Amino acid sequence: FGSVFLIALIALDRCICVRHPVWVQNHRTVRLAKRVIGGPWILALLLTLPVIIHVTTVTDIRGKTRCTFNFSPWTTDPVEKMKVAITMLILRGSIRFIIGFSAPMSIVAICYGLIATKIYRQGLIKSSRPLRVLSFVVAAFFVCWFPYQVVALISTIRIKELLGGMSKEFRILVDVTSALAFLNSCLNPILYVFMGQDFRERLIHSLPASLERALSEDSAQTSDTATNSTSPSAEAELRAM
């Protein structure tokens, strides 16, 4: 939740910067940013609370311990527990799909669409690089998160079947799509930072300078070490003479 909400907030911030530069210059302060940034984290915490509160472990007859949810600790009736679990998991899956994917994806797509439209119409930037970056950001977000959300939605629809046990194939599908969703958090720094032309030019220019500085320091340290190691023997020879 936190990662997805922050991506949507970044898109909204960039859209406001491009479409309302005067307002941004007058009102977009660090103090305001600190206040706004708390919103996604608080919302993510609230949406994650049911998991934090109800997650537990159970040990089956084979002695194998696994994580599960206990949404009805007030009762031991298995029928009632099953009904409450199905209701809560359907609610959780629906919230995750609507609030955790559909709404942020819509914000990202709309914001970057508005940015691309203004850049294209007014010719703010002659290069096509910004449009490519925006396209990659939206595409990466969709490609990484959509399979995971589809599998999660299938899990919600088939919750009664899956409570009886998840097949090996479906478990692999869940693991692969989950890893793909988390990969989006790794791709974002690359898309937002490393694709910038200024950053790449600085990196290319700074690497040789850093290497030269490191080698210079290395040779200087080697020279000092050699001088220090030969000094005692030279003094000993002088004393012997």
Q: Are residues 40 and 114 in the same domain?
A: yes
Note the Cα 220 to chain centre separation in Å.
Answer: 42
Residues 93, 28 share a domain: yes
> Do residues 137 and 240 both lie within one domain?
no
Q: How far apart are CA 185 and CA 106, in angstroms?
A: 18
Q: Are residues 126 and 227 in the same domain?
A: no
Residues 220 and 131 in one domain: no
Tell me whether residue 30 is in a domain: yes
Tally of residues, the chain:
241
Domain CATH number, residue 188: 1.20.1070.10
Domain identity same for 168 and 99: yes
CA dist., res. 213 & res. 194, Å (int): 24
What is the β-pairing status of strands 55-59 and 65-69?
A: antiparallel
Do both 107 and 49 map to the same domain?
Answer: yes
pLDDT tens, position by position, for the chain (241 residues)?
A: 888 898 889 889 888 988 888 888 888 888 888 889 899 999 999 999 988 888 888 887 888 888 888 888 888 888 888 888 888 888 888 888 899 889 998 998 899 888 888 877 776 555 566 667 777 777 888 888 889 888 888 888 777 666 666 788 888 888 999 899 888 878 877 776 665 555 555 555 555 665 566 566 545 555 555 455 444 444 443 344 4
Say if residue 108 is in the same domain as residue 144.
yes
In this structure, is residue 201 part of a structural domain?
no
Is 213 found in the same domain as 186?
A: no
202: in domain: no
Number of folded domains that form the chain: 2
Residues with Cβ within 8 Å of 94's Cβ and at least 6 positions away in sequence, in order, are 156
SS (H, E, C) the chain: CHHHHHHHHHHHHHHHHHHCHHHHHHHCCHHHHHHHHHHHHHHHHHHHHHHHHHEEEEECCCCCEEEEECCCCCCCCHHHHHHHHHHHHHHHHHHHHHHHHHHHHHHHHHHHHHHHHHHHHHCCCCCCHHHHHHHHHHHHHHHHHHHHHHHHHHHHHCHHHHHCCCCHHHHHHHHHHHHHHHHHHHHHHHHHHHCCHHHHHHHHHHHHHHHHHHHHHHHHHHHHHHHHHHHHHHHHHHHHC
Structural domain range at position 232: 209-241
Report which residue type is found at 236.
Answer: A
Same domain, 178 and 223: no
pLDDT value at position 83? 87
For residues 131 and 220, state if they share a domain: no
Distances (CA, A) of 14 to 21, 88, 159: 10, 36, 39
Is there a single domain that holds both residue 190 and residue 224?
no
Q: Does some domain include residue 203? A: no
Asked whether residue 137 is domain-assigned, the answer is yes
In a domain, 200, yes or no: no
